[in-house]
Structure 1
Amino acid sequence: MTDAARQPPRELAVDALRTLALLPVVAVNWVGYAALPDAGPLAAATPSASWLAQGALIAVAALLAAKGVTLLTFLFGYSQGLSRRARGADALAVRRRRMQSLLLLGLLHGLLIYSGDILTLYAACGLVMLGWSRLRLRQLRRRCIVLLAAATTLVVLVAPLMVLGAEGEPAATRMSLATPTDMLSWLGLNAWGFFTNVAALLLLGFLLPLGLMTAGLMAARLRLFSHPRWRPALQRYARRWLWPGLLLNAVWAVALWHGLHRAQPGWADAFYALGMQVAVPLLLGLVPAAVLAAQRGSVVMARLAATGRHTLSLYIGSSLVSLLLLSGAGLALPLGTAALTALSALYWGLWVALAPRWRGRLPLEAWLSR
């Protein structure tokens, strides 16, 4: 069998959704860069007296924050399901090798470039799930329900402790990756932030991504994004969840903004801990609408899908740009919240504009797909 025949089938909707999910990831990473490594992912709006900056922060929180990571997590599981279906008996060995490569890349990325790395968590979840694609659908459904319920219960229990634990803590004592310093000191601060971030995710944030990936694996098994039988259900979800999801996320965004604006780190951390759960209702409205547009042959979705083949490079590239422009080891540009929001959208837009011109895989994607 040729290498081309062994490649997982590409679904336009999956690639396009992956591109859409990267916009929130890049925007949140850049807007909240100054809060890392001690706080984040978002930071208080700067300049604080600017209504434009405050409005940009609320918009980022309502429309983008936690949405990209949540969607990417689901799509990660969906892609694992596609890989199994395409490769058959070889799927397990191929996925194990790719998860090991992704783990190595995540460790290097987190230690040397960006402490808020998400690749390490995805690789760890992927390694745990290696054999799950062999389970029956009802077994996957049971695991998904248990994981999501346990994750939600845990965050509801931990959130009040975050508020109490940070009570009285002055925000000024928190360190920032954007503070000008030498490269060695910056690397030490970034590495410490990465280790604490990974530890927190593995202890408190591991169940929810695992549950969402399981849901994605089930969706791939059911061919949710490609089989015509699911179109009526997708239409119902798009109509039913879009506006309630927007309202819920708007309320959540204002509460999060209040904690950041009033320098109440415990309040902000507690609300952000609920971000992925809050993002799900909105995604239940947006994702089906996007999938249906892809099935109708949307030109926009086709262009987004072209970028979706290079999202690993887009993600790592955004971290390199933030290292150069925003970090204390780089230029440490004192950009405000509105400017960072616009700059992140411009960076993402350039990828969308240029990606259709490229043929084949970029180096990072080619290395990971070996």
Structure 2
Amino acid sequence: MTDARRQPPRDLAVDALRALALLPVVAVNWVGYASLPDGGPLGAATPAQSWLAQGWLIAIATLLAGKGITLLAFLFGYSQGLSRQARGAQADVVRRRRMGRLLLLGLAHGLLVYAGDILTLYAACGLLMLNWSRLRLRQLRRRFITLLGVELVLIVLVAPWMIHLAADEPRAVSASLATPMGWSGWLALNGWGFFVNLMGMLLLGFLLPLGLMTAGLFAARLRLFSHPRWRPALQRCARRWLGPGLALNVAWGLALWHGLRTAQPGWADVAYAFSMYVAMPLLAGLVPWLVLAAQRREAAMARLALAGRHTLSLYIGSSMLSLALLSGAGLALPLGTAALGMLALLYWSLWVALAPRWRGRLPLESWLSK
């Protein structure tokens, strides 16, 4: 059997959705960079008196915040299901090796480049669910509901405590990652921020991404994105959820913007704690519509799919640029919210435009797939 035959089949919808999911990740990471390591993922608009900056922050909070990591978690599980189908008994061995490498990359990325790294969490979840592909569909459904339910209960229980703590004992804010400083000081600040962020996610915030990965695995087992029998259900889901999902996210985005603008203690933190739940109804309407477009092999989806094969490089590349341009150890450019939003959109668009020119995998993707 050749190497080409051992590779899992490419799913155009999965690749295209993965590329789209990176736009929110890059935009939120860049716009919220100056609020790290103590704040974030988003911070107040700058300059505060600029309505253009406030408008960009509202748009990002409404349309992008929370959507990228939610969709990526689902696609992470979906890809694991595709790998299992293609590789059979060898899938666990290959997946374990890849998750080990992804974990090493995530730790290096978080400690040395960007404190808000998500690769480490995804790798840990991937290792935890290595054998879940063998579970029955009803077992996967039960785990999905349980994981999301337990995480929601934790958020509801912790939210009042977060508000009370923020109101009674305002936290001391350390220097921003964008504050000019030497490399040693910046690495110490970034590393500590990464450690705190990682511990918080592993202790309180990993159940929801794990649940979404379980849902993705469940969907892959059903061949949700490829089997013709699901097209009517996808059409109904798109019609049912797109409008209400958008309305919910507009309301939530304005609430988050209000908390960031007024610096009301605890408000923005609590609002962001529900970001992935709020993203789900919108994605439940948008993703089926995009999957149907991919099944029709529309040109835009085909172009996005080419970029979606290199999203690891796109993600690491965005962090390296933020390190060089925005960090206190780099140029520490004092860019406002609107400029950062436009630059993030430009960076992502260039990847999509240049992807058709690349042949084969980029070095990071090639190393991870070995």
Q: Same fold (TM over 0.5)?
A: yes
Displacement, 1:158? Answer: 1.3
Specify whether residues 369 and 185 from structure 1 end up closer, same or farther in structure 2 by C-alpha distance, changes over 3 A only.
same
| Residues 52-97 of structure 1, C-alpha deviations (whole Å, 9 max, x = no match) | 1011001000000000000000000000000011101100100000
Displacement, 1:297? Answer: 1.5
Structure 2 residue aligned with 1:142:
142
Please tell me whether residue 293 in structure 1 is matched to residue 305 in structure 2.
no
Residue type matched to 2:211 in 1? G
Displacement, 1:265? Answer: 4.2
Displacement, 1:169? Answer: 5.1
Displacement, 1:164? Answer: 1.2
Q: Which runs of 5+ in 1 are unaligned?
A: none
Please tell me whether residue 367 in structure 1 is matched to residue 367 in structure 2.
yes
Q: Distance in 1 between matches of 2:41 and 2:168?
A: 21
Displacement, 1:167? Answer: 1.2
Please tell me whether residue 269 in structure 1 is matched to residue 274 in structure 2.
no
Structure 1 residue aligned with 2:159:
159
Structure 2 residue aligned with 1:173:
173
Q: Superposed, which structure 2 residues align to 1:320-335 within 5 Å?
A: 320-335=320-335
Residue type matched to 1:322 in 2? S
Local SS of the residue matching 1:290 = helix
Displacement, 1:42? Answer: 0.1
Residue type matched to 1:306 in 2? L
Residue type matched to 2:61 in 1? A
> What is the root-mean-square deviation of aligned Cα atoms in Å?
1.0
Q: Distance in 2 between matches of 1:339 and 1:127?
A: 38
- Are the equivalent residues in 2 in contact too, given 1:39–1:174 (CA < 8 A)? no
Structure 2 residue aligned with 1:86:
86
Structure 1 residue aligned with 2:121:
121
TM-score, with structure 2 as normaliser: 0.99
Q: Distance in 1 between matches of 2:280 and 2:153?
A: 16
Specify whether residues 251 and 174 from structure 1 end up closer, same or farther in structure 2 by C-alpha distance, changes over 3 A only.
farther
Specify whether residues 226 and 31 from structure 1 end up closer, same or farther in structure 2 by C-alpha distance, changes over 3 A only.
same
Q: Distance in 2 between matches of 1:364 and 1:122?
A: 16
Displacement, 1:266? Answer: 1.1
Specify whether residues 253 and 205 from structure 1 end up closer, same or farther in structure 2 by C-alpha distance, changes over 3 A only.
same
Displacement, 1:202? Answer: 0.4
Q: Distance in 2 between matches of 1:245 and 1:7?
A: 36
- Are the equivalent residues in 1 in contact too, given 2:38–2:173 (CA < 8 A)? no
Local SS of the residue matching 2:224 = coil
Residue type matched to 2:64 in 1? L
- Are the equivalent residues in 2 in contact too, given 1:159–1:271 (CA < 8 A)? no
Displacement, 1:174? Answer: 4.0
Q: Distance in 1 between matches of 2:103 and 2:154?
A: 26
Structure 1 residue aligned with 2:355:
355
Local SS of the residue matching 1:131 = helix
Displacement, 1:168? Answer: 4.8
Q: Distance in 2 between matches of 1:299 and 1:156?
A: 43
Structure 2 residue aligned with 1:244:
244
Structure 1 residue aligned with 2:197:
197
- Are the equivalent residues in 2 in contact too, given 1:171–1:263 (CA < 8 A)? no
| Residues 156-185 of structure 1, C-alpha deviations (whole Å, 9 max, x = no match) | 211222111111555783431000000110
Displacement, 1:138? Answer: 1.0
Residue type matched to 1:320 in 2? M
Residue type matched to 1:15 in 2? D
Displacement, 1:2? Answer: 1.5
Q: Distance in 1 between matches of 2:191 and 2:69?
A: 21
Q: Distance in 1 between matches of 2:175 and 2:39?
A: 8
Specify whether residues 34 and 168 from structure 1 end up closer, same or farther in structure 2 by C-alpha distance, changes over 3 A only.
farther
Q: Distance in 2 between matches of 1:193 and 1:165?
A: 20
Q: Distance in 2 between matches of 1:231 and 1:305?
A: 20
Specify whether residues 356 and 227 from structure 1 end up closer, same or farther in structure 2 by C-alpha distance, changes over 3 A only.
same
Please tell me whether residue 338 in structure 1 is matched to residue 338 in structure 2.
yes
Structure 2 residue aligned with 1:103:
103
TM-score, with structure 1 as normaliser: 0.99
Displacement, 1:264? Answer: 2.1
Q: Distance in 2 between matches of 1:301 and 1:169?
A: 49
How many residues are aligned here?
A: 370
Q: Distance in 2 between matches of 1:340 and 1:164?
A: 33
Structure 1 residue aligned with 2:27:
27
| Residues 92-150 of structure 1, C-alpha deviations (whole Å, 9 max, x = no match) | 10000000000000000000000000000000000000000011111111111111111
Q: Distance in 2 between matches of 1:214 and 1:34?
A: 33
Q: Which runs of 5+ in 2 are unaligned?
A: none
